[in-house]
Every structure is written in structure tokens, then in C-alpha cells.
Amino acid sequence: MKTSYGFTLIELIIVVILLGIISATALPRFLGKGGVEESTTQDQMISILRRMQTQAMQQTDSAAFCHQLILTQFQLGYPNILPCDPTETNTQLTAAANQNSGLQFMRPANSSLGLSLFNTALPTGGTSQTLPFLFRFNSLGQPVTNAGAVISSGLRIEITDVLTYRICIEREGYIHSC
């Protein structure tokens, strides 16, 4: 009796199907960025915002703690200003933003990420805000202007490169991806 060597048709079909599944899921990660940088930036910025919000709710003494955040085209962080000065304006902090030693997130030098801000917590619409933009959280966790007025429309931060990711800060203080 002659012994045959080789694969059956079923075995070959299973291998082809498995290769197709692997190439459809893993190959795009190896060939392109696919939004990984934007997603990572979104997660980092949500963490920064929630941390500052939590601190503002726990540390209510504005003479000892400043819970201001500054957003520029390249960074999100808190300026080193103590006590919080409600007379500061966004344009006065432009130079300080570039030298901010309290910086939490800064776009890498070789990155093409873009940051923008809108005056709505909805995923679309709203008016683009001029950067740098200074805001803080009050003791209830709500986003407020530097003068202390609640930002009634909420805020949306957009992170753009290959894909666009959004962070929404609701009027009530809920921070989430949207």
C-alpha cells in the first residue's frame, strides 16, 4: 500500500482562514499608527483632568492650592501660580505655558498631534476657543473660568492626527471620552 504525504483540503482551508484573521487584525498595527498615539494621549489627558478635579474637590483652600489648568496646542498642565490669581488672563500665561515646570502632558517633539478646544460638551459643534485657555475646577468638580463662573456649556478637547479623539467635560463635571 502506498503512503501519501501532504495535507488534506480541510487542513489547508483552516490554515488560510487563520492567516486571514491574523492579517486582518494584527497587520494594521504593524503597518501604521492607526490612532494609537491619539488614544494614548486621550487617556493621559483624561487622567490629568480627573486628578486635578479630584484635588480641587478635596483641597478647597485656594490660598494654599491652585487647581488651574492651561491648554495650549502642545500641552495640558497646570501653571505654577500660587495663590490662584483670578485676574490672570489666557494671553498673560502664553509665555508661562512654554516654561511650565508643573507640566503634566506635552506633545512629543516628533509628533504631529493637534489639540483644540470647543465651548460645548457635545461630540460635534460648538465654537473653537483661542488657545492657550485657562480654566479650573471648583469644589463641586465643575469646570469654571478663571474668575470662578461655571462654564455652562461644558468643554470639548479634540486630539487630532490620523484619527480624531474627543474629551468632553460636562457642566456638572463629568469627564469622559466622547
Whole-number pLDDT of residue 91: 46
pLDDT band with cut points at 50, 70 and 90 for residue 88: low
**Distant-in-sequence, close-in-space partners of 105: CB < 8 Å, separation ≥ 6:** 41, 44, 45, 48, 75, 76, 77
Give tens-digit pLDDT for 122-176. 888 888 988 888 888 988 999 998 778 899 999 999 998 888 899 999 999 999 9
Which helix or strand (DSSP H or E) is residue 18 part of? helix 9-31
Tens-digit pLDDT profile for residues 29-80:
666 666 778 888 899 899 889 988 998 899 877 666 777 888 888 888 776 6
> SS3 for 168?
strand
CA angle 145, 76, 151 (to 5 degrees): 20
More confident residue, 107 or 99: 107
pTM for the complete prediction? 0.72
